[in-house]
Structure formats: structure tokens, C-alpha cells
Amino acid sequence: MVNTRVIPSRARRGIPRGRGSLAALGMTLTLIATAHAETFRFFGSTGAEAQFSPANEASPLNPSNVLGVPYTTNSADAALYADAKTDRVKAHVKLRADASDRAADHLQLGEGFVQANLRPWLDVTAGRVIEKWGTGYAWNPVAFVSPQKNPTDPTDRRAAYRGVDMLRADAFVRDTNVSFYALRGGGEAARVYRLVVGTDVSLHVRRDASGTQQGVSAARVFGDALELHGEATRRHLLLGGQYTFAANVNVVAEVYRSGDGLTEAQWRAFRDGAGASLYDANRRYAPLRMARNYAFARIDKPFGRNEVELIALTNLRDGSSIARATLSRKLRPNLSAYVIETEFLGAGEMSYIQVKRLTTFGARVYF
């Protein structure tokens, strides 16, 4: 099932997202940023949601609701962050608790690390870290050590990301930032960042038991309103941009090419075999991964205490789409309520989704 729980994005005024740093890891915390650095800081958010999802009995993967898809789901979560720092050392922790009437409750350490400035040009970090590799909005092909984005929830509204255990060294040499990673399980990775003629350029590599991955990402801002960005790996390509109009309307558009998706012949074979084994077909089916080319568009407009966001994700092979509209309202400076309506359109890939639509009501408080 597609997770479509999203709140308004942090991308709004043509600000580039390609300058990877730990500053982006708390997307739910922008309302509580402080003007002065503190030795100790505790902050976070908690929220609750009710989601209505009528079964799609016409789906070849869920005929007559054979999967028993529940009509309602209720969930709650809380994320607690703690920072402690001196001039040379910083410690950061993220704890997350989840509760649901459809799944087991759990508590996890999403992030926990210590960072030390050993030299003016060298930082060393040890622990569990949420990295932010790449410049894309809905997809990040170069996210070799970062949490994989869900294109229907690109901003991780519920702060559900979990970090990777690592030892990282950041060296700053002649306007170039070089980061080396020793990952749990024996993997290694590196990233090189440099501002080249006004363009943020990063080279990415990871090597582990499954092989070696390489990629490049870039982003550039033109004036005060336009940003263009892109990422490329051996089998994936992303190109996109965003523009902010004078009325504070932000528009994001991206196209994504995935060499891991199915060809037309492979998709036909999947459809023809879906009825033979529902278990196998449901195990193999992954929305927004069944083709090789997709498009993403987002329009966001704040007005007063309200904000409207529209997102469309389209399979460029068959035209089927996911369309989502979000209306959120700030009830108090630290309290927001929202409703999200998600529809699945077309007769192609999205018609196989096991539910007809998703309607979500929720609220979130920040502390």
C-alpha cells in the first residue's frame, strides 16, 4: 500500500537542497528554531492520524478484497530530539515512538551520534546518522547511505527516517568538502562536494559486499526564484527544478528514469501472471517502481494560516497517476491540523493499488 502521509514541504523559496548537512535532518522542527545556540536543547513533535482506505475490489491484486484491507487505520507517533554541545563537541539523539491499531507499537533510536571538531579542517562523527545525499525532491538516486525517499511522502512529514550506523570523517580542503564513511557491516562510502562556477556539485560512491555504486549530483540557483537540479548513477537519472512565483507559489517538477523498472514486455508478463499467484504478485508489486519513467509535479501555496499542496506522480508509460491534495491549517503557533486526499487514476499501474483512495485526517503539535 502506498504511504501518502505528507505535509507541506521545506522547499519554498528556490532554496537549493544540494548542500548536504545535518541541518536538514529535523524537517518537523522548523517551527522551533532558536536564535541563540544553547548548550542543551530538547525539542520534538507528536501527532495522531485517522486514515480511511476503502478496498479496491477491482484491483487484480485484491479481487473482492481477498486481502482484507481494513477500512480505517488509526496511528500516533512522537519524535524527541536532544542536543548537547560545546565549542568542539556535539551530541545529538532522536528517539521515535509509534503506535497503531493495525501494527505493533515500537520505540526506536532514529539517530544518535557524537561529533568532534579535531582540527579547524577536520570533523569526526561516530554513531547513527541520518545522511541527506542528493539534490532531488521526490527521488534521490545517489542516496547510497541515506534513507530511501517515498515519492508520495518526499518530506518525511512524520519524521520516520532512521539513520545508518557509521564512523564519518569530514575534511575541508581548499573549498572542497570530502567525507569518508566506514559503515556497519563492512561497507565504505565517500562524498566529495565543491561549489563549481556557482553550481553545487557532489560525487558519491559506496562499496560493500554487493558491489560498488557511483553517482553525481548537482544543483544551481538562478536569481531568487529558480533552482535546477539533477542526479545520475549507472542505472538511474533524475532531472528537475523548482520555481517560486511572486505570489509565493512554489512549483516543483521532476522526471525520473529507473533502469530497475519493468520494460513493457516485463509489465505484460506481470499482468498476465497476476491471477496465477496473488501472493507472488502482491509481493512483487511496488507502486511507482513498475515502470522505467515517471514524472513528478508539486504546487504549494500558503495563504494566511492555511496552506494548500497539490502533488501528481505519473507513470509515463501508461499515464496512470497518483494525485494528492493537502489542506493544512495552523491552529496555534505550535499546532497544525490537516486533511489529505489521495486518488489513484488511470487503467495502468496505479489501478493495481489495493485501495481505491486514501483520506487522512491528522494533527501535529511541536514542542
Give the CATH number for residue 261: 2.40.160.10
Instruction: Extract long-range pairs of 324-327: CB within 8 Å, 24+ residues apart.
Output: 324/4, 324/6, 324/152, 326/6, 326/7, 326/8
Whether 360 is in a domain gets the answer yes
Asked if pLDDT for residue 5 goes beyond 90, the answer is no
Cell triple for residue 27? 524537517
Q: What is the mean pLDDT of residues 75-86?
A: 97
23, part of any domain: no
- The answer to whether residue 10 sits within a structural domain is no
**23 CB neighbour count, 10 Å cutoff:** 9
Whether residue 35 lies inside any domain: the answer is no
Residue 46, domain member (yes or no): yes
Cα-Cα-Cα-Cα dihedral sign, residues 267, 273, 275, 277: negative
Positive or negative, the CA dihedral 92, 158, 362, 308 is positive
Q: Is the residue at 5 inside a domain?
A: no
Place of cell 562524498: 191
Residue 11 has pLDDT above 60, yes or no: no
Burial of 303 (0-12, 13-18, 19+ CB in 10 A): exposed
Give per-residue pLDDT as tens, 312-355: 999 999 999 999 999 999 999 999 999 999 999 999 999 999 99
Cβ(204)–Cβ(214) below 8 Å: yes
| For residues 85-106, average pLDDT | 95
CB contact at 8 A, 7 and 342: no
* Residue count (the chain): 367
Q: What is the mean pLDDT of the chain?
A: 90
Encode pLDDT of 232-255 as tens digits: 999 999 999 999 998 899 999 999
pLDDT category at 21 given cuts 50, 70, 90 is very low
Q: Are 129 and 111 in contact (CB under 8 A)?
A: yes
Boundaries of domain holding 281: 40-366
pLDDT digits (tens, 9 = 90+) for 260-308: 999 999 999 999 999 889 999 999 999 999 999 999 999 999 999 999 9
242 compared with 148, residue with greater pLDDT: 242
CA dist 111 to 2, 260, 366, Å?
A: 25, 30, 19
**HEC per residue, the chain:** CCCCCCCCCCCCCCCCCCCCCHHHCCHHHHHHCCCCCCCEEEEEEEEEEEEECCECCCCCCCHHHCCCCCCEEEEEEEEEEEEEECCCEEEEEEEEEEEECCCCCEEEEEEEEEEEEEECCEEEEEEEECCCCCCCCCCCCCCCCCCCCCCCCCCCCCCCCCCEEEEEEEEEECCEEEEEEEECCCCEEEEEEEEECCEEEEEEEEEECCEEEEEEEEEEEECCCEEEEEEEECCEEEEEEEEECCCCCEEEEEEEEECCCCCHHHHHHHHHHCCCCHHHHHHHCCCCCCCCEEEEEEEEEEECCEEEEEEEEEECCCCCEEEEEEEEEEEECCEEEEEEEEEEECCCHHHHCCECEEEEEEEEEEC
In a domain? residue 260: yes
Residue 110 above 70 pLDDT? yes
Predicted pLDDT of residue 194: 97
- pLDDT of 118 above 80: yes
Cell numbers at 278, concatenated: 496473488
Indicate the number of domains in the chain.
1
Establish if 195 belongs to a structural domain: yes
Tell whether the model's pLDDT for residue 30 goes beyond 80: no
For the chain, how big is the Rg over CA atoms in Å?
Answer: 21
Segment 128-133 mean pLDDT: 96
Q: How far is C-alpha 117 from the geometric centre of its chain's CA atoms?
A: 29
Q: HSE on the CB side for 232, CA within 13 Å?
A: 4
Enter the pTM of the model.
0.85
For position 38, what pLDDT does the model report? 56
More confident residue, 1 or 88: 88
In this predicted structure, the answer to whether residue 12 has a pLDDT above a threshold of 70 is no
Which amino acid is it at 336?
A: S
User: Beta strands 72-85 and 226-233: pairing type?
Assistant: unpaired
Is 299 within 8 Å of 250 (Cβ atoms)?
A: yes
User: Under a CB-based contact definition with an 8 Å cutoff, are residues 219 and 240 in contact?
Assistant: no
